[in-house]
């Protein structure tokens, strides 16, 4: 069984907390066509310069747009309205990785390798072989968000659209996996995914037969594929992040936590403001110092417990708790059980 994972670390560091503007443009256009009030988009970081190909916008911005779309009266349809506006190249260099590849399998592996060209580095596209079948699955840290079912429904559809365009025909997958089957209206799976076999799965996925993934693509171009592979990486490294105030706060908070238990005064000083002003700015964003610190610590603790063998004492130090007892109390408050249960469940 083979697996294709995320890009190299330096690219992830450069792009952390951001996405490309390409998919956001499609989301905004689809939302406007469905009646989204343009005034609700005002002030979202990056949207004013969304046509600039050389930027990366905060991940929070695209999630906010997804949230707005999830509340629109789509009727019997959802995220597929977004792909109605798609044309090859609308997702930037990532789009072009497919048609120039030798086969669809090669295309998906290139797309997984350079998924950060359109997504946040915390999002992962996995390509897995199981016998003659190839499964492409998406994993992102958004499961607790109300808009997650819409995103999860959209991703397999997007993958099918770009792959079908590269193949020159509409592909019929062996199956599609969704973590929320209730999000698919009755009888809609055939229209959306060209298959009636939509199954319950931990992560959104689409599985193709050997006959589809191994056939040479009609526009394969090995020399151009090599050029685009390099360009995909360089475009991420050269992109300019457009960050909002809350993004700067998150960056400073993460840095402060890495140095030990952070204090409100310390973070406010790094941001060049008084503690009272910092609290006021957070309140205007609909959050608080305590909520932000708790959210960051919980995310880090969850990852370290699932993905490392560090002791609870070491994790407490890394995440800024005074000692392991304080960390154990927090874990019980968050999950209702102790660290061994989380560690035993494996990567999320």
> Per-residue pLDDT tens for 163-197?
999 999 999 999 999 997 776 766 778 888 999 89
Selected residue with higher pLDDT from 262 and 228? 228
- pLDDT exceeds 70 at position 150: yes
Instruction: Give the model's pLDDT for residue 298.
Output: 87
Domain with 228, as residue range(s), is: 3-241
Residue 254: its pLDDT value, please?
A: 79
CATH number reported for the structural domain that contains residue 308 in this entry: 1.10.10.60
- The whole-chain average pLDDT of the chain stands at 86
d(CA 78, CA 81): 6
pLDDT at 219: 96
| Percent of the chain residues past pLDDT 90, beyond the cut | 42
Quote the distance between the C-alpha of residue 35 and its chain's center: 25
Residues making up the chain, counted from first to last: 348
d(CA 136, CA 131): 14
pTM, two decimals, is 0.70
Same domain, 263 and 232: no
Shared-domain flag, residues 73 and 19: yes
Residues 8, 85 share a domain: yes
Number of domains in the chain: 2
Q: Are residues 121 and 257 in the same domain?
A: no
Question: Which of 241, 274, 298 marks a domain boundary?
Answer: 241
Whether residues 167 and 207 fall in one domain: yes
Last residue of a domain, one of 241, 263, 295: 241
- Residue 250 has a pLDDT of 81
Per mean pLDDT, which of 67-81, 185-199, 210-224, 263-277 is the most reliable?
210-224
Q: 273 and 207: one domain?
A: no
Across 145-160, average pLDDT = 91
> Are residues 276 and 218 both part of a single domain?
no
* For residues 156-162, average pLDDT: 95
Residue 210 sits at the vertex; the CA angle it makes with 205 and 213, to the nearest 5 degrees, is 70
Query: What's the pLDDT score for residue 284?
Result: 82
Whether the per-residue pLDDT at 78 is higher than 70: the answer is: no
Within 8 A by CB and 6+ apart from 128, the residues are: 1, 2, 3, 134, 135, 136, 137
Q: Residue 109's pLDDT is what? A: 97
**Are both 291 and 182 inside the same structural domain?**
no
Confidence of residue 37 (pLDDT cuts 50, 70, 90): confident
Name which of 40-49, 222-231, 279-288 the model is least confident about. Answer: 40-49
My answer on whether 157 and 302 are in the same domain is: no
Q: Are 220 and 178 part of one and the same domain?
A: yes
Residue 219 and residue 253 in one domain: no
User: Does residue 162 register a pLDDT over 70?
Assistant: yes
The answer on pLDDT for 63 being more than 80 is yes
The fraction of the chain above a pLDDT of 70, given in percent, is: 91
Lowest mean pLDDT among 154-158, 203-207, 211-215, 340-344: 340-344
Ramachandran bin of 145, using left for φ above 0, alpha for ψ from -120 to 50, beta for the remaining angles: beta
- Highest mean pLDDT of the ranges 143-157, 233-247, 253-267: 143-157
- How many Cβ atoms are within 10 Å of 249's Cβ, its own excluded? 22
- What local confidence, expressed as pLDDT, does residue 178 receive? 93
Choose one of 180, 213, 241: the last residue of a domain: 241
Do 223 and 253 lie in one domain? The reply is no
d(CA 8, CA 19): 16
């Amino acid at each position: 069984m083979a697996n294709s994972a995320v890009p190299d670390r330096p690219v992830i560091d450069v792009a952390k907390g951001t996405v490309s503007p390409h998919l956001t443009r499609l989301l905004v256009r689809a939302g406007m066509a469905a009646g989204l009030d343009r005034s609700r988009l005002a002030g979202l970081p990056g949207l004013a310069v969304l046509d600039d190909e050389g930027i990366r916008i905060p991940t929070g911005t695209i999630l906010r747009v997804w949230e707005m779309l999830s509340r629109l009266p789509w009727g019997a349809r959802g995220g597929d309205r977004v792909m109605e506006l798609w044309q090859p190249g609308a997702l930037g260099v990532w789009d072009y990785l497919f048609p120039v590849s030798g086969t669809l399998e090669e295309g998906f592996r290139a797309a997984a390798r350079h998924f950060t060209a359109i997504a946040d580095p915390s999002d992962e596209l996995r390509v897995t072989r199981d016998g003659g079948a190839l499964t492409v699955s998406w994993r992102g840290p958004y499961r607790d968000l109300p808009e997650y079912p819409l995103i999860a429904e959209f991703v397999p559809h997007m993958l099918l659209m770009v792959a079908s365009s590269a193949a020159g025909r509409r592909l019929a997958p062996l199956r599609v996996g969704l973590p929320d089957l209730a999000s698919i209206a009755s009888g809609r799976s055939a229209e959306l995914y060209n298959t009636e076999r939509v199954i319950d799965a931990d992560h959104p996925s689409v599985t193709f037969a050997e006959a589809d993934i191994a056939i040479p693509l009609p526009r394969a171009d090995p020399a151009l594929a090599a050029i685009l592979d390099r360009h995909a990486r360089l475009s991420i490294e050269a992109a300019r992040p457009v960050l909002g105030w809350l993004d700067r706060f998150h960056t400073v908070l993460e840095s402060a936590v890495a140095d030990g238990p952070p204090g409100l005064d310390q973070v406010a000083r790094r941001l060049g403001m008084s503690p009272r002003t910092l609290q006021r700015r957070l309140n205007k964003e609909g959050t608080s110092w305590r909520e932000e610190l708790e959210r960051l610590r919980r995310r880090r603790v969850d990852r370290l417990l699932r993905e490392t063998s560090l002791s609870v004492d070491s994790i407490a130090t890394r995440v800024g708790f005074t000692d392991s007892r304080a960390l154990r109390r927090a874990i019980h408050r968050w999950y209702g059980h102790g660290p061994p249960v989380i560690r035993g469940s494996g990567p999320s």
